[in-house]
Structure 1
Amino acid sequence: MNASSQTLGQLESARSLALGDGRYYPTIIPGVLPIIGANANATLEIRRWGADFLAETFASPTWPSESKESLGLTVLPTLLEYLEQVEDTGVIKSAVQAAASIYPLIYRHIISDAHDTQDWQLMAAIKSNILRRMDLAPPGVRICCVKFVQQVVLVETPGIVDPRRPEQNDISLALVPRDHPLIPYSTLEAEASGLLDRLLDIVHGDHSDALLVTATLNSLGMLIQRRPYVTNKILSSVLNFNPLKLANSPMTPKNKVMMKSMERTTRALLMNVMKRNPEGPFNGRIQQYLERMHRMRLDVFDESNRKRPAPVEPTDGLDPAKRQRLGANIPSAPPSVPPLPPGPVSFRELFTLSPDGNTANFDVQVFRDPEQLLRIIVPILQSIDETKLGNAINIVRSRYLALSKAQPRTAIDTAPAATLVAVDDEEEYEPDFEPEDAEQIANKLDSTQPDSLLPERVSDARLAPYKLPQAPPLTEQEIQKYGDSTVRRVFGMLSALDDSKAKGTKGGFNRLAASNNDRDSWATILSRLATRAATGLEDSGDDIKMEFNSLSKKGNLALAEMIREAIYNYIIYDWKKRIDVAIRWLNEEWYNDRIQIEAMRTAAKDATNGDAVRTAEPKGNYQRCTLKLMDGIMAFVEGTDKVLLRFISEIPELDRDLLNRIKKMAEDPERIELAIMVFQYLYMFRPPVRQVVVEVLEDMWRTNDRAKPSAKKLLVKWKPGVLYEEVKNETANGALEVKAI
């Protein structure tokens, strides 16, 4: 037995002892850490055992969390070494699971001890390493990363706090002080929101890894149960999830198993939500979703679940009972057809096959509208049995052949040509515009030679080619009218599409505008129609001006403004849910403005043979559209609408006019904290506008008495000189007043 096997045997003995009694964990862990560490020259088997032991230890409920918290601080260096130095999949999976169990404990420790910077930096390094692996690691590691992200979202979102029993309080963001130096409240809240979006992106992304999607759905169940704060967001996303998306791909056995797994997991998740809260606001939508999934599942798996089909057997020569069992059609006797009347036969009598003849007396002239007649005839023709139609054609054909052979030539046919001319001259003159009655038409048909009715004779004359006349050109008013109608139809369809994001597409301004038929693709197309279609941005620099002039003559600029107005109205109608469309639109406007400025500079430089010439930059549309959209949103923003923070943080460019809107919003006492949060975020994460933020905040501090305490907290850190100057001025004014008295 080698040393490694002997060491593993001793470690297994210690593990068995701890499993039997959880009180031995605090004693065993300090003893095994020097052996299982990544820098302890241990073999891969020992490292795997150590990672598994740590994951099992901190997930065990047999010893108190207070002891886990103190020992969790000691194992952080070991977990970080495993994640950074060991590439074995088994070690990484167990290390991530152990980190998921330890993170809430370290989080609670940092809340109570705000000066323990070293341990929090170790935990932050572990978290960053795990989040980097979440998208590129093997499937097993990614599932463990999903568990870790679930724990992070749990502790970094507000939970229910009971001040009467603080020992029973759940570890959540509600326990974090607002002014905590290591874990700021707003930063943790934003991080939790972003990680939750990453979990939801897995659900709506690639379904080729059903295990990962199933694991994510299971993790969402815990978040729905323990965090009502994010329940609406999760359920809205799950109700837009289609677990049978792979039905469009080849129906291989693997795809069938994956679809069944995801569908059952989704159904179980939503049914548990309904059981926990029978009066929940989402129960109606959940019931409709489950019914729709049930119908879709039957449609997708109907062929695989169908019983064995009946054997293919010949039906000729079998008795009627056997024909009935096989589903064969028993030939019926041909219907009775009335014989033709003696004497001359009209076309109506030739084609009449019904015994009663009632249909022959029906006058089709009662249908004044040809469209109405077509709506009746087309369904009737589609419902006719092909066999019966063939039998009827054969009967008419036999009748016609019999008449063509038996009918003698009339006296008019045997008369000489001169006689025919005389007879024709003696007939009364009848104008062409007079309608002929039925009797006249019947007489003419009776006097016609039978041979002239043959299809072979009639088909000898070839029809001349027919060409549709060219449509008249549209006027500018018609172009504007039809363009307006098209844009309205597109936005109507856009409102009906699901709010699902296309995954796996190329990002950036040069990405494909539409890779899927979803809401995001159509929103991108409309944004680019409004920004790029009327400027010729894809042409060379020499052709930009010419293309711009030619398009502007056709009214494309007016059409672009109409599309912009339609996008604005679409966003304002439900701005919280459609804020991503607003951000995408403004990014396209900003990109278009930059391209136009660059094109104008290049053209001016070429015109002056490379000399630098300052030209007036074109007035773009980004700032105008941004301010208009901001003014529209401000009328509906409430103090709890943190969607505004996302909007301000993701638009490409900020200026003083936009920040003045935020300052104006702070005049409402209920929205002061939201404005302060926006300024704080911009100062921390948008360095180019820091100076403008401080100036606007200073102006708000001087002019808004209600916002003065909140603004003062930020100015103390960013520009304390303003406060000292104010105190100095107040002191001087007080001295002057005393002197005057």
Structure 2
Amino acid sequence: MAEGDVVRTKLTHLNSAREIVLQDPKFCPDILGGILPHIVASDAAVELRRWGAEFLAETFSSPRIASQAKQELALTCLEPLLTLLGELETGILKHVIQSSSSIYPLIFRYMTETAVWQQMAAIKSKIISMLDTAAEGVRLACIKFVQRIILVQTPGASDPRLVDKSEVSLTIVPLNHPILNIHALEAEAHGLLDRLLNVFQDGKLDAPIITAILNCLPALVKGRAAISNKILNILMAYNPITIAAKSMVFKERFIARSLEKTLRMILTHLARASSGGPHANKIQTQIQRLLQSKSEFSIEVPKSNKRVMSVTDIDPVKRTKYSSADAENEYTPTPPPPTIQVQPGNGTTYKTLFTLTGDQALSNFDVSQLPLEMATQITLATMYSISPQMLESSINEVRQRLARLVQAAALVPPVRPQLPPQLDDEDDDYIPGGADEGDSNNKGPKINAEGVVYSDSDDSYDGIKDLVPTTVKGKAAAMDLVKMPDLSPEQIQEACEGTLERMFETITALDKPVKKERAGLNRLAAASWDRDGWITVLSRLSTRGLSGIDAEVQNQAQEDRMHYDSLSTQIRQKLFMYVMGDFRTRMDAAVSWLNEEWYNDKLQGIAAKNSDRIPLEPQYAKWMTKVMEGIFPYLEKTDRNIFLRFLSDLPTIPPGVLANIRGLCLDPERSNLGFLAFQYLCMLKPPCRQDVLDIVEELWQNHNDVQMSARKLLVKFRPHIVGLLPKDSNGST
């Protein structure tokens, strides 16, 4: 007999033994003592070890087995449990830790031998070492074990009238116990409690871990008065909403909403349990704060309070009040600043040329220290608030200053410019000022026919020389621009990342949707620099801009081709993360991007068919599936219109998306949404109708809980499947 058949046979017998124990628990000691050493041994099959760990967890958590019987079994199971803690499989570890949580109080109560406590201490040490590093499911089991340790190793009620004889706590341990050190055990319990409570102070939103700890704390608060104050103070200072309010990630805001609800339910439970206690009023106050923060908190990604002002944000009614003649008495514009005389010899620079204020402190302010967003806001606000007359007056003042500088420079004898070694025939008769070419110290005026001065290196006019053009006999002097060095792929990648970050910051600032009129068939893809325009630019940059449709890019070296692909993938990943940040309000951006991907795949296919070029990997199905997998965990019944509109705007539906919708159909809470999507696709997406009906037929045949919903679709499109119509030889009904 094969090894697999042997294991299956053993599991059949073990399951039969389990049924016997469930019917009559008195057989549990005999069965457990007979089979346990064989199925938890290191050389046993993993299926048998898994069954043994699960059976132990069921045995020690069963209320039908007496406490005395459990204690006797626990003494015989310490060694097998210690052996099973060396397993790597998550399922086995979870059951072993659950068993350890059940037997820890039993071993603690009946502690008489040092060897037994050493084995229990070894089990405890191994489990605590996995508290922060193991898999998530194992960590959840470790949290329950730590809760049991805290309950056991802290003092219980001191009043004999309130003591539960079945309760295990540090109170039952005598001060002169030969094995247990009361002070060390209590210190260990407080240290473990601090480790649990630290999760509420590190500013992270680890939903499974925080939820597990929250569910463990009420038992500690109600059962241990010595530590209840510390726990309640931490809980009343914790608010996940304030942590998520600073985040732009939709997932974290969704998690915070769930954690807030769990925290509020636990505080409500504690308030009812201690309605007359000293903390009742504080708990009620904290519950009200949580409700208030929840009402002010939106699960959608917050829009930036500081955003760039757009033209659509300007209310013309409000602006009319200050620009009309009737409001002259209400609004008095700031008088123009005194004119600053800019003379050629006072160190003129661009700063002094364009400075119009007489305030010395303001003129010395370094504007470059302001953030770009703030500087943009100030500039736009100033441009919108200033009157046209004042703006024209300021421009004329700068013009006059520049004219005075040019006029003054024409009368000042500058140093003769150094001519190039060779001049063309047109310039052979030119001798500046009639001077000898060898006289390098000639200080006479150098003015050409147009009256433009040749300025050079006169120190007294450093501020003016950059403002005065330098020409040679009425023509611009030859100037060669310095050729910039080629950037390395790493530098290009860094520059691309910085550019993308700035572009998406701009898109996020413009995230507020603006109602626009439809332009019809003559519309432009990006008529204005709003959010849709930026999304269009990025979508086309990631597809047609960097996809390499043109032969020039296709014929480049392989490393260049890979570099283009990496930049394109980087933009796509940024678009994907942007959509996932708030998919409900950014679904139109996803539609625009994915349509560009589909169109680019078609262009690639045509280009590859008409030439010998290697076609690039299609991207539409890949990213469409990723978007669907990202939004499916967060879809709710209320998202019906958004989801159906998203499906309607897509050119094709890949098979992976249909598989995800099938998963929706099997979800009890979202089953109607999944079948509604299938119905829509059957009616309005004929290319994918047969694939959809195949999935619906499979659901109707194999899943009884959704059979009625699947039958409604099959009655309309495949009535022969449900027996309403016969099917002819051609497959039609």
TM-score w.r.t. the length of structure 1 is: 0.42
Q: Which has the higher helix share?
A: 1
Report the structure number with the largest CA radius of gyration: 1
TM-score normalised by structure 2 residue count:
0.42
